[in-house]
Amino acid sequence: MAKKSGSPTVAAESEGKPLDKKSARTRVRILDAAAQVLSAKGYAGMRLSDVAEVAELQAPAIYYYFPSRDDLIEEVMWVGLADMREFLTKALEVAPADAGAMERILIAVETHLRHELEISDYTTAAIRNAGQLPDNIRDRHDAEEKKYGALWRDLFKAAAETGELREDLDPYLAQMLVMGTINWTAEWWQPNRATIDRVVANAQSYVRAALSPAS
C-alpha cells in the first residue's frame, strides 16, 4: 500500500540552491521515491537505480539534486522526523482543552502509529533505519530526534506531576519503553493481519493499562 509523502514544503527545500517550481517538484519526486525504497529495503539495500525507477528518472539526474546516495538518505531521514514532529505538535494543539495528561499520551500514541504505518514513507524509513546510519550523516537526524523526544518527555513529565503515571515508574524509562514498542510496530505490522484502527486501539489500551495507577 503506497503511503503519502512527507511535507512537500520541507522536501522541496534545497540547501544553497534555489529551485524553480519544476525542479522543486522533481526534487520532491526523488525524495518520495527514496523514502519508499528506503522504508522497504533499508539503508544497506537502497540503490539509486531503484530510486530512479520509482521516480521515473534516469539515475544520473539524481546527482543534480543530491551529491551522493548518503546525502539523499540523510535528507529522507530528516524529513521523516521533522514531519512527524510537526504532525504530533499539531495533534496536541487541537486536543480537547480538558484532555488529561494520560489522554495526551494516548493521542501521541495514535498520531505516531498512524504517521509511521499509514501516512508517511519518510517516517517509516526514519524509524526503521535510525540505527543503520553512518556517523557522517547522523547530525541532523539526531538533532531532530531529540526535538521529537522532547515532546514525549513533556507528556510523561506532566503525567507524573498530575498523578496519572504509576509512582513506581520512572517517567523517562516509561517513555522510552512506550516509544520503543510503537516504533517496532513498523517491523511486524501487515495490513492483512489487522487494520490501523485495531492496532491503534490495542496500543492505546495497552499503554493506558501499563502506565496508569491502579484504581
CATH of the domain at 96: 1.10.357.10
**1 occurs within a structural domain:** no
Q: How far is CA 204 from CA 107, 150, 209, in A?
A: 8, 20, 9
Separation of CA 109 from chain center: 12
Instruction: State yes or no: pLDDT of 17 exceeds 80.
Output: no
- pTM as predicted: 0.86
The pLDDT of residue 6 is: 53
Q: What is the mean pLDDT of residues 180-200?
A: 94
**156 occurs within a structural domain:** yes
- Segments forming the whole domain that contains residue 201: 8-211
At 139, list the grid cell: 547530525
**3 occurs within a structural domain:** no
Q: How far is CA 83 from CA 79, 112, 119, 157, 172, in A?
A: 6, 11, 11, 24, 23
**106 occurs within a structural domain:** yes
User: Which tens digit of pLDDT belongs to each residue from 23-82?
Assistant: 889 999 999 999 999 999 999 999 999 999 999 999 999 999 999 999 999 999 999 999
Q: Determine the Cα–Cα distance for residues 33 and 20; give it in Å rounded to an integer.
A: 20
Q: What is the mean pLDDT of residues 115-130?
A: 91
At 42, list the grid cell: 533499508
Q: What is the mean pLDDT of residues 86-108?
A: 97
The pLDDT of residue 130 is: 87
**199 occurs within a structural domain:** yes
**149 occurs within a structural domain:** yes
Q: What is the mean pLDDT of residues 126-146?
A: 90
- Could you give the number of structural domains in the chain? 1
Instruction: State yes or no: pLDDT of 104 exceeds 80.
Output: yes
**181 occurs within a structural domain:** yes
**2 occurs within a structural domain:** no
Say how many CA atoms lie within 13 Å of 111 toward its Cβ: 23
Instruction: State yes or no: pLDDT of 151 exceeds 80.
Output: yes
With cut-offs at 50, 70 and 90, classify the pLDDT of residue 12.
Answer: very low
